[in-house]
Structure 1
Amino acid sequence: MLQELDTTPKPGLVDRSDQGAHADMDYACFRRSIEAVVPYFAATGALAAGKSPDEVLWRKVRKIGCEAETAMFSATGGVNTHKGQIFVLMLLVAAASSEGASGIPGLQKGIRIMTRGMVYKELGNGLHNKNELSHGERLFLSHGITGVRGEAEAGFPVIFECGLPVYTAMLGSGYSVNDASLQALLAIMCSAEDSTVVHRGGLEALRFVQSSSLAAVALGGVRTEAGRNYLYAMNREFILRGLSPGGCADLLAGTIFVHEAEKELRIHGRA
């Protein structure tokens, strides 16, 4: 979580340089949030250790996740800094700690089992009869966007197929952790169906974020001067338009976690 926060410059997102497209949160607020929620991930790992990665485990993990959200809101004065990231990382921590976690295939299998049917249960099951809908529910009904729930049920393909290969390759080529994280974020932004972006600016905003990211990658991203200059220009434009790809930031944190978890699993003979 700290590495994701420190990655700079992240277009439209809070980082070490600025508040991105946010008026109600800054770097210090994110640090308080992270400090408040960290103990809940340790509790999740302890709970999942040696257990089958099934829906029963996920219900228990989600209860811990709700407690983490309460701690987050208390630390930030009611500001939602990490709700999506808590969801992503709770799932990944539970999958990595559970019985049968063996490298990337084991992680993805555990995630899919725990989230089986999540989209239908939480977004497609009788929502038309509800008086009040969440942002995610409204987006599903109006545009068919499944957001992070759809990503989770599919086994986080954007993490494993977009973010992780780029992040690993960048580190292997000698780039800094910051540059590897930024390049991975661009890869994620090219593909992710970020419901935070759609909520703020509609489908047109999502297309703009994706096309801007593709253009940055085409210029080389952090690997070239032109790409870096474009990244700074993206940040200015995203702030001007009020666009914050927070869902992509959550998937970047997930990418970083998976990279570290895979190393630990290999050390302990579970890769």
Structure 2
Amino acid sequence: MSALIARQVQPSLAERLADVAVQALIDEADLSPKPGLVDRRGNGAHDDLHLDLMHASANALWPTFKAMAEAALIAGEVSQPLREALGQLGRDGEVAMLRVTGGVNTHRGAIWALGLLCAAAALHTGSAAPRHIAATAAALARLDDPSAPVNPDSHGARACRTYGVLGAREQAQHGFPAVIEQGLPQLVASRRDGEQNAQLDALLAIMSQLTDTCVLHRAGLEGLTRMQAGACAVLAAGGAGSLAGRRQLLELDRDMLTLRASPGGAADLLAATLFLDRLAPAASAPIGSN
């Protein structure tokens, strides 16, 4: 009887994927010191965000990520109905997030990125390489969602239009290149210096290449240039695990705070990096009811 009960309470694949997604968001928020971002030291370049709020927001999104994975398991393949279902679930999740945060946008970009990746991972019910999961997420992202609201005045949309750059939507549609080509390889390469330094280096690798629309909105091209150059300088000095790299990291943090620039897009993609990195153990655990 006890063995039967144990099997019955085993979390489903969708629940495990939601667990990994939420933990990735919490670990991204906790990671310190992050340039210009909320972390354990303080609020970074933000007046309306703090660490407890980031934690509350991440936990509030667990039902959304679970529902997205369940929708993919039911659909069984990339399809227009699945894309539309994910869009509605994402919008419902945003409402839940804003309710918890009192109207503050904590994780709108993360809902898009991690929601797609949860759904894509559910479609690969066995183990799959991060690149393959990202490619499936890209196939979903390229499908049109006719119910999606058009908001040309959002911060990201205005930055894309003003500076002629690609935003979070295009990152997903191209298979998350910042994650696959920068974040994950750097995370693995830097683990010799410990997990925290590896995660910081992964964030910096993403920042070194990303046209982060959050930074463009707050600090324009000057902010973006300083972010990218500063991140490259940290990595060139040996990364967050070296004394010289840590000095460069703190200098980059001062620059971002002076400019009131927060690389929120890079932070979302770091969470996506952590999600994909941890996916194999979560997906290979015994599966309960889906």
TM-score by length of 2: 0.82
After TM superposition, give the deviation of residue 3 of structure 1 in Å.
0.8
1:114 aligns with 2:140: yes
Deviations 1:179-221 (A, max 9, x none): 1110100000001111111111112211111011111111112
The answer for the alignment partner of 1:10 in structure 2 is 34
The answer for the alignment partner of 1:149 in structure 2 is 169
Deviations 1:19-60 (A, max 9, x none): 100011111111111121122111211221261123431221
Alpha-carbon distance in structure 2 between the residues aligned to 1:54 and 1:260: 26
After TM superposition, give the deviation of residue 117 of structure 1 in Å.
6.0
The answer for the alignment partner of 1:247 in structure 2 is 265
Gaps of 5+ in 1: none
Aligned equivalent of 1:191, options 206, 209, 212: 209
1:32 aligns with 2:52: no
Alpha-carbon distance in structure 1 between the residues aligned to 2:125 and 2:142: 17
Alpha-carbon distance in structure 1 between the residues aligned to 2:119 and 2:49: 29
Aligned equivalent of 1:54, options 79, 104, 107: 79
Alpha-carbon distance in structure 2 between the residues aligned to 1:235 and 1:143: 24
Gaps of 5+ in 2: 1-24
After TM superposition, give the deviation of residue 100 of structure 1 in Å.
7.2
Aligned equivalent of 2:178, options 158, 161, 172: 158
Deviations 1:89-108 (A, max 9, x none): 00110110115773234213
1:176 aligns with 2:201: no
The AA in structure 2 aligned to 1:170 is: S
The AA in structure 2 aligned to 1:10 is: K
Alpha-carbon distance in structure 2 between the residues aligned to 1:227 and 1:58: 42
Q: What secondary structure does 1:17 align onto?
A: coil
Alpha-carbon distance in structure 1 between the residues aligned to 2:234 and 2:132: 33
Q: After superposition, where does 1:192-207 map in structure 2 within 5 Å?
A: 192-207=210-225
Q: CA 1:186/1:28 → structure 2, altered by over 3 Å: closer, same or farther?
A: same
Residues 125 and 283, structure 2, Cα contact 8 Å, conserved in 1 = no
The answer for the alignment partner of 2:121 in structure 1 is 96
After TM superposition, give the deviation of residue 134 of structure 1 in Å.
2.2
Q: CA 1:150/1:183 → structure 2, altered by over 3 Å: closer, same or farther?
A: same
Alpha-carbon distance in structure 2 between the residues aligned to 1:83 and 1:138: 16
Q: After superposition, where does 1:199-218 map in structure 2 within 5 Å?
A: 199-218=217-236
After TM superposition, give the deviation of residue 63 of structure 1 in Å.
1.2
After TM superposition, give the deviation of residue 260 of structure 1 in Å.
0.9
Q: Tell me the C-alpha RMSD between the 2 structures.
A: 2.4
Bigger CA drift: 48-57 or 203-212? 48-57
The AA in structure 2 aligned to 1:62 is: G
Residues 148 and 247, structure 1, Cα contact 8 Å, conserved in 2 = yes
The AA in structure 2 aligned to 1:157 is: P
Residues 36 and 75, structure 1, Cα contact 8 Å, conserved in 2 = yes
Residues 52 and 99, structure 1, Cα contact 8 Å, conserved in 2 = no
The AA in structure 1 aligned to 2:36 is: G
Alpha-carbon distance in structure 2 between the residues aligned to 1:183 and 1:25: 23
Alpha-carbon distance in structure 1 between the residues aligned to 2:235 and 2:162: 31
Alpha-carbon distance in structure 2 between the residues aligned to 1:262 and 1:203: 38
Q: CA 1:55/1:193 → structure 2, altered by over 3 Å: closer, same or farther?
A: farther
Q: CA 1:122/1:142 → structure 2, altered by over 3 Å: closer, same or farther?
A: farther
The answer for the alignment partner of 1:229 in structure 2 is 247
Task: Report the count of equivalent residues.
Answer: 259
The answer for the alignment partner of 1:261 in structure 2 is 279
Q: CA 1:134/1:32 → structure 2, altered by over 3 Å: closer, same or farther?
A: same
TM-score by length of 1: 0.88
